[in-house]
Structure 1
């Protein structure tokens, strides 16, 4: 798959989706800080430093950002994802991905667009499937999106997540195959 990709959201907003670089780390840090503070989709309990953001979102990963396509300097990060092998060696053909969409850009089709592009990119990179290891059970929007994109629940880890108020929720593991023939080559 070739990046950048130009697209329009449901409301007609033009976006450019491109491979992120180290120069984009501050934008990812700021957006991820907002996502972490929401507390319902990622395990971190506090915003990450620049170095931690680089390690979590960029190091050893393919990182893709969706930017507002209004100028040549696409500076507003609307969302993004990373893609990496979930395991090493013989199991490196199953990818893991992480996603985020800025709160004011949700419900405009960006999550679906990023998810569809990730699946295509993962297939082009030679992955045989994609797994999400930690989908918060109470994150109904993400679960519905992944199901719409063909993911199925393959496991539940009971009470794996302790919410800020002390209550617990399950972690859902979701998987999507990327191959037509499930047999090994």
Structure 2
């Protein structure tokens, strides 16, 4: 498996993987699905968009962008999506590690996750194992697909 900058030919598969996570309704704040046109615009608008490619297939991706502007523009934010067919293969871990390196390379000083859902224990354990620090808990900060609210846990990692 390799992780690399996305290319035009990757857009359709990236959009499918992204939409899988959005449709699950338990991790991303977005509610609207992307088509290939909107996906292209969305992925192009990021500071960096990387893909995990395995045997010619896109199996995961991440987006990296500033978390804020001006005096806080040195803090970046990222989101990760792994194909449901490929979960449990440590693809997410490889994406996060690559993202940490890329964020530093792009001049960011901190990577912050604003809204890790408290019940997303696999992601939380991964982030903590990789040295992310939880900032606290925001009660009821995430509306799940079924309408109930769950706590979110912001995290950060110095780059």
TM-score normalised by length of structure 2: 0.90
Residue 33 of structure 1 is matched in structure 2 by 19
Higher Cα radius of gyration: 1
Task: Sort the Cα spacing of 1:56 and 1:133 in 2 relative to 1 into closer, same or farther, 3 A.
Answer: farther
C-alpha separation between the residues in 1 aligned to 2:138 and 2:40? Answer: 28
Counterpart mapping for 1:110-149 below 5 A: 110-149=91-130
The gaps in structure 1 that reach 5 residues or longer are 1-14, 179-185
In the TM superposition, structure 1's runs of 4+ consecutive aligned residues that sit over 6 Å from their partners are none
C-alpha separation between the residues in 2 aligned to 1:60 and 1:120? Answer: 16
Alignment of 1:64 with 2:45, yes or no, is no
Task: Sort the Cα spacing of 1:174 and 1:28 in 2 relative to 1 into closer, same or farther, 3 A.
Answer: same
- Secondary structure, aligned partner of 1:41: coil
C-alpha separation between the residues in 2 aligned to 1:89 and 1:162? Answer: 29
When the two chains are superposed, the root-mean-square deviation of aligned CA atoms in Å is: 1.6
- Secondary structure, aligned partner of 1:87: coil
Q: Measure how far apart 1:19 and its partner are.
A: 0.2
Q: Measure how far apart 1:162 and its partner are.
A: 1.8
Residue 43 of structure 1 is matched in structure 2 by 29
Task: Determine if contact 2:114/2:155 at 8 Å carries over to the other structure.
Answer: yes
Structure 1 counterpart of 2:78, from 89, 97, 109 = 97
TM-score normalised by length of structure 1: 0.79
Task: Determine if contact 2:5/2:51 at 8 Å carries over to the other structure.
Answer: yes
Residue 4 of structure 1 is matched in structure 2 by none
Provide the aligned length of Structure 1 versus Structure 2. 159
Flag the structure with more relative contact order, 1 or 2, with Cα contacts below 8 A and sequence separation at least 6. Answer: 2
Alignment of 1:82 with 2:63, yes or no, is yes
Offset from partner CA, 1:23-68 (integer Å, 9 cap, x none): 3221111111111222211122342233332343331320000111
The gaps in structure 2 that reach 5 residues or longer are none
Task: Determine if contact 1:134/1:172 at 8 Å carries over to the other structure.
Answer: yes
Residue 21 of structure 1 is matched in structure 2 by 7
